[in-house]
Amino acid sequence: AQKITQTQPGMFVQEKEAVTLDCTYDTSDPSYGLFWYKQPSSGEMIFLIYQGSYDQQNATEGRYSLNFQKARKSANLVISASQLGDSAMYFCAMREEGNNRLAFGKGNQVVVIP
């Protein structure tokens, strides 16, 4: 069964605009962590932000914020003030407690246009 679902098609975003990338997950474990990674065309995987299932507040890291809705099992990434360098694939991932396996979604393609 797929644990992480990212279904949005490729997105074009105007520079300086905000963009929201959807991620829903499936787990019966009460304790888990959610991660977002960025993969630019150069291929490396860059860690962006982490949200723990027991965290009371939504995680933020600079221009990245995570809209965590636990009851809906969603962990959407919000990128504010998009920059040309934000053009990349974005992957949502989950790790359940006691398990070091990161389950990745299929990714969202974002292209920022000037």
Partner 1 sequence: DAGVIQSPRHEVTEMGQEVTLRCKPISGHDYLFWYRQTMMRGLELLIYFNNNVPIDDSGMPEDRFSAKMPNASFSTLKIQPSEPRDSAVYFCASSLLEGVDEQFFGPGTRLTVL
- The site for partner 1 (CB under 8 A) is made up of 33, 35, 37, 43-47, 50, 52, 91, 95, 97, 100-102, 104-107
CB of 81 or CB of 109, closer to partner 1? 109
Q: Taking Cα atoms as reference points, which of 18, 44, 24, 48 lies closest to residue 110? A: 18
Query: Taking the alpha carbons of 22, 49, 92, 90 in that order, is the dihedral positive or negative?
Result: positive
CB of 18 or CB of 111, closer to partner 1? 111
User: Least CB distance from residue 114 to partner 1, whole Å?
Assistant: 28
User: Least CB distance from residue 1 to partner 1, whole Å?
Assistant: 15
What is the DSSP code (8-state) at residue 74? E
User: Least CB distance from residue 103 to partner 1, whole Å?
Assistant: 8
Q: Is 55 exposed, middle or buried (0-12, 13-18, 19+ CB in 10 A)?
A: middle
Helix-then-strand count for the chain, H and E: 0, 12
User: Least CB distance from residue 89 to partner 1, whole Å?
Assistant: 10
CB of 56 or CB of 100, closer to partner 1? 100
